Amino acid sequence: MSSDRVRRGMSIAVVLVGVFISAVDMLIVNIAFPSMQESFSSASLTDLSWVMSAYAITFAALLLPSGRWADRSGRKRVFLLGLGLFTAVSAACAAAPNLEVLVIARALQGVGAALMAPSSLGLLLGLFPPARRGIAIGLWTAVGGVGSAAALPLGGLLAEIDWRWVFVVNLPLGAAALLIGGWTLRRSATEGGPVPDLLGIAVLAASVAAIVATISQGQVWGWGSAQVIGLSVAGAIGLVCTVRRGLRHPAPVIEPAILRIKPVALGNVATGCFFVGVGAMAMSTILFLTQVWRHSTLRGALEIAPGPVSATVFAVPSGILAVRYGAHLVGLVGGVFFAAGGLWWTFALDATPDFTGHFLPGAIIGGIGFGLILPPLAAAATLSLPPERVATGTGMSSMSRQIGMAIGVAVIASVLDGVPDLDDFRTAFLIMAGAGLVSGLALFAIGPVRPSAPPGTGGDNQSEHVTQAATR
């Protein structure tokens, strides 16, 4: 085996490790809350919810600015900086002496994840020839999506030891990836360009942070409270100002030409909708298994595992099929399968425990849909972009994913508030099904996606590329 092939394989592994650990840490702490309450006995569940919200807020707020920075300054540099910060702060999370330190460390961990996520797909696409980009997208989406889906079962296993292990597990993976990545990853050939709008970046980050904070904490604060109304208004005004500023600034954080590309716009809508369903699924399934069927947290986490396994099996073939037959067709099939999993649970589950006959089929069907739709979502949001905008497009798609997930969790928290009954859980599963179907239809409405030139091949002037892409 040649040294170049070894280096390429190690580079792929480094990128995928970063994608996996950042996705896992979005949800893995949820299942560790009971263990955390034992360590921080004076903390309420509201206080503990900030362990998740702090990560979600900084992660979502900085995804698009990080993508813009990676496109200009270099994906390798930004990815390794994010990986190093994420790994170092994971150690701080594991060693946190009190809840305040843990929340601050989680916010910084979200910053590290936000630096990694947008640059990762651009790095990965540069490691594959044009004809095999479907495999690259399949790998990226499979690892990221499975990381999100596997967070609960993995967290359940680790929390049985101690909640601190959900952070300790990041240390060997992150440290090894950081050392290897510094040697194997190559700089992209398309980096450079004018300095982006720093004020616009700050306003966008603050606006997204306000919106995600509202969604994450709305149930706790009260949807009609001054905090929720104030942050919602501030976030909306900030987004409007960012878009208006983008029409005048020579290097805006959100380029109007990108937003006018049909696959990018609809791809982000589809991503947000789908991850509303993922958030609904992640929260409702573990609560159903532990509250209705009275299974232990560990048992419930293991019973969820067939879904992520099914998603893993189908994600890479989906990327190949999306290139061959069209992301819109494969995405529609994936959305229908995901919706069918939710509908199965809606009508099959009852108060009598029957894992094999009632729960498992829905997990497998929904998992197949999960795996099938993820590569088309990534392809729609990024493939039609010019090479020097891949990280920006990935950041936008990842931001849609996190906001959708936060909305899904918040909605299900409202539906299942108090002591939920079977009808409440059926409503939750219907929300999952509806989100999956809408996402699949949005992808189908895009039609065939025409890819731009692959990253690393150079190209013409950046603004000319974006203009050409916007007119497709």
| Distance between CA atoms of residues 416 and 26, nearest Å | 21
What local confidence, expressed as pLDDT, does residue 440 receive?
Answer: 96
| Distance between CA atoms of residues 105 and 109, nearest Å | 6
What local confidence, expressed as pLDDT, does residue 234 receive?
Answer: 93
Average pLDDT over residues 26-30: 77
**Structure-token match 């450079």, residue found:** 192
Percentage of the chain modeled with pLDDT above 90: 35
| Distance between CA atoms of residues 411 and 419, nearest Å | 16
**Structure-token match 């936060």, residue found:** 406
Q: Is the pLDDT of residue 471 over 80?
A: no
Side chain identity, residue 433: A
Confidence of residue 191 (pLDDT cuts 50, 70, 90): low
Confidence of residue 470 (pLDDT cuts 50, 70, 90): very low
Residue 449: which of 327, 329, 321, 315 has the closest Cα?
327
Average pLDDT over residues 225-243: 91
Structure tokens at 10: 């190690």
Average pLDDT over residues 164-193: 84
Task: Specify the pTM.
Answer: 0.80
- CA-based radius of gyration for the chain: 21
The tens digit of pLDDT for each residue in 121-166 reads 888 888 888 777 778 877 887 787 677 767 777 887 888 888 899 9
**Structure-token match 């994936």, residue found:** 334
The tens digit of pLDDT for each residue in 438-463 reads 999 999 999 887 655 444 443 334 33
What local confidence, expressed as pLDDT, does residue 463 receive?
Answer: 39
At 97, is the secondary structure helix, strand, or coil? coil
Side chain identity, residue 452: S
What local confidence, expressed as pLDDT, does residue 190 receive?
Answer: 53
What local confidence, expressed as pLDDT, does residue 279 receive?
Answer: 85
| Distance between CA atoms of residues 415 and 425, nearest Å | 8
**Structure-token match 């961990």, residue found:** 109
CATH level 2 (architecture), domain 3-185+253-470:
Up-down Bundle (1.20)
